[in-house]
Chain A
């Protein structure tokens, strides 16, 4: 038995509803620490979903998605700090900037047939020279960083994204759900099929009349544009931006871990991966702390073990396996 118009089984729909209820009720039950962990999980679920459009759907590996997070953050933060323009309008400016930069990179790569590993290196290069550029961009604070004004807020100001973690949690939850729905629509549309054709075999895709240049460009532009709001969120949540941190390649790698663990190219993979990875690594941190241990780099080692485990045991990711076990059939597409 399945739900019409979806590939969720009835049991899958019940589980999904339970998950949605749990996520909606979480701030009522969770303490501040748990809430910040949940915010982090949703953040990684969101950016993982955005990255997945490029790699999971269209097969174009980006190892530089921190670029679009950083650009989104800087554009909105500068507009807020220098011109008093709020984050939502700032987001409307941040998205086109990220799309434009993604389009320039995509054009160079696809026009000159830079593919595979070389494409991935190009994405790193773009993130890296942007990082170096922002280090010397004094208008936005250079390497000294850009800071948003911080004060105690008596009430949540959603218009200016100033408030307590509960507000940020719901904002991030809304974004994650919206990204999931958008990606679901994309994957089942004509463009989604064409992306998958390109991912599976580009020569065959071209032989079927698909303008692969055009559809790869669309993938990069949607993925980069979708990533930018996460940067706006980072800027207003942490209230500071340093090029050295926000454009760091380590951030780019963190972004791709959740979809890899959860299942590249699946819709729930990035979400599940974010819960597993961030949830377990925070839990491990807590356990270590409880024993009075503070091991630097433990998180990175843990990430490494997780990736190793998934690559060896479940190369398609955890979600396709879990979906089969739970009887919630999502086709791996």
Chain B
């Protein structure tokens, strides 16, 4: 896949990078005193403004999903086979699988719990889980769906079901990244899996899970020894910090000590810092993948800032959660 040269596509992305939000704009957005002011700033940047909305949150969500859609429409225009970017969408698929499995236990339909933007239509997934006919699902998802549903039916343990699906999602992300052959996507997957494993370990300490449970929950990772991480998690937070100090993620320790949201921010910033070199690559798939990640990053930062305005949060606390920008 990476043998292809994307001269036209990368040149278009170079032009599009000019309209990405930069740090100065985010500072300006953070300084906005009202939703209307913030929305005006975004409108000036060419962001979609929904005409009809029920609440301010609805307005924000409609705007953000339209912006997400814009990115994917552009990629479909630029790349004949967008499956190379599946690694960025798989998380949504497995989120929808969780929703479908939980919905299968109820007699009602809850379309609002499914999220758009995966590689599989949520309706197909919903139907497959509901009818126990997993054929329409991808081969690697079939056993996961079956196991998750059986586990939920027998144990009624939603957390255990989530663990099964989350681990499968991380494995699928890793596999899709290797299949893409793109160093950027492989790096993204590597960091995604590592940060997810660290989060699982931290959560396990807080909920007092035993070593075997943690070991089962952790996804294989190239940069972390999951056995050692599980061992550390079974001993406590300090043991996790001691183990992480020996890994490439030692910088995460102060953030983990601060708060889970500080760690989330650190993870996202780490990905952005690592993909930033793609700004200089002239014709590989890398700049395209980096652009998608950068757009997702700015969309999530805008969500944080606008949620802060809606909920009247102090600027400083919102600023602490805002991500670093790609440009």
Note whether A and B form a binding pair: no
Binding site for A on B (CB under 8 A): none
Binding site for B on A (CB under 8 A): none
